[in-house]
Amino acid sequence: MKPPPFAYHAPTELDEAVGLLAEAGEQGKVLAGGQSLIPLLNMRLAQPRVVVDINGVAGLGGIGTGADGVRVGALVRHSQLEADTAAAAAVPLLRQGLRLVAHPVIRNRGTTVGSIVHADPAGEMPAVLALLDGAVELRGPAGARTVPAAEFTTGPMETALAPGEIAVAARFPRPAPGTGTAFVEIARRHGDYALCGAAAALTLDPDGRVTAARCCLVSAAPVPLLVDLTPRLSGTRALPGELDEAAAAAAERSDPEDDIHASADYRRHLARILTGRALARAAAAASADTTAAPAADTGAIR
């Protein structure tokens, strides 16, 4: 189908964009990459009166990689972030997650921040942000604020964004030294929404003992399901049996839904298997990280 009618604005300044969006209130939508919004418009699942296209807004691009992590501006396309070697070196989970986001053609237009704001329970990048304890920078009529990932996604397709607010950047913290990460998922076809997916981060001390472990599941709950496995795995050597037990505990926390693609039971099964695989890969990466020389800082912020 075709999108419903709406008023279109293409501001060039952030304040102007915020003003237009605030004026539109609940009836306003931000257009960045459009790879989620425009399908919703075409299917008439969203009928905003006002669309504010931020593609021409100055200052919303740019990937900044520094000692504390990676800051991704609202106009950075998935493919641009995926190709950024400094960002991938600082926060490997970024590229691990981005490669699973839809198809390359969609990643050419879709933005990482837009994907986080869209808050699809099957989305990879909200899970990446949650697993890393990242944050989203917002600008609204009342000024700027930064919302931690744990408070940002409030439900399926729902976030802490107030009417009139624009997400201007996402911050992905650099994991602690000795941390390995991984993201695995199962989809009906490569590039489809995941039936279930699991991201994991696991930290080893120089003796090879676990000091921290957590996972984040997608398509397993209404929001990215973050599970802290540190109490279970701390002090262990991340042996396969130990990881599998932790994965089973994480899967028990999942609350997936039945749909035409998979039953809830099958998704729970996938949650256990995929969490186990993600933890094993993260442990292998952590082990490689602790034995290798510390990576040099890959660049200053912008």
Partner 1 sequence: MTEEQHDIRLHVNGVRYSARVPARRLLSDCLRHDLGLTGTHVGCEHGVCGACTVLVDGQPARSCLMLAVSAARHDITTVEGLAAPDGTPHPVQRAFSECHALQCGFCTPGFLTLVAAYVRDNPDPGEDDAREAVTGNLCRCTGYQNIVAAVLRTAEITREHGASGAPEARRPAGRAGAADGPHSAASPKEGGRP
Binding residues (CB under 8 A) for partner 1: these are 1-8, 10, 31, 34-35, 38-39, 41-43, 51, 53, 55-56, 79, 102-106, 108-109, 189-191
Of 166, 211, 159, 145, whose CA–CA distance to 74 is shortest?
Answer: 166
Three-state DSSP at 42 gives: helix
Three-state DSSP at 239 gives: coil
At 125, give phi and psi (nearest 5°): -70, -30
Taking the complex as a whole, the smallest distance from the CB of residue 56 to partner 1 amounts, in Å, to 7
Taking the complex as a whole, the smallest distance from the CB of residue 6 to partner 1 amounts, in Å, to 6
Taking the complex as a whole, the smallest distance from the CB of residue 156 to partner 1 amounts, in Å, to 19
Considering the complex, state which of residue 50 and residue 150 has its C-beta at the smaller distance from partner 1. 50
DSSP state of 234: T
Taking the complex as a whole, the smallest distance from the CB of residue 282 to partner 1 amounts, in Å, to 25
Of 95, 20, 10, whose CA–CA distance to 55 is shortest?
Answer: 10
Taking the complex as a whole, the smallest distance from the CB of residue 236 to partner 1 amounts, in Å, to 37
Considering the complex, state which of residue 145 and residue 261 has its C-beta at the smaller distance from partner 1. 261
DSSP state of 260: S
Considering the complex, state which of residue 53 and residue 255 has its C-beta at the smaller distance from partner 1. 53
Considering the complex, state which of residue 52 and residue 149 has its C-beta at the smaller distance from partner 1. 52
Considering the complex, state which of residue 103 and residue 237 has its C-beta at the smaller distance from partner 1. 103
Taking the complex as a whole, the smallest distance from the CB of residue 43 to partner 1 amounts, in Å, to 6
Tokens 């130990």 correspond to 242
Of 107, 279, 225, 145, whose CA–CA distance to 94 is shortest?
Answer: 107
Considering the complex, state which of residue 3 and residue 299 has its C-beta at the smaller distance from partner 1. 3
Considering the complex, state which of residue 36 and residue 159 has its C-beta at the smaller distance from partner 1. 36
- Which parts of 50-194 fold into alpha helices (H)? 78-82, 85-90, 92-98, 104-109, 112-118, 124-131, 149-152
Three-state DSSP at 102 gives: coil
Taking the complex as a whole, the smallest distance from the CB of residue 36 to partner 1 amounts, in Å, to 9
Q: Is 136 exposed, middle or buried (0-12, 13-18, 19+ CB in 10 A)?
A: buried
Q: Which residues contact 207 (CB under 8 A, 6 or more apart)?
A: none
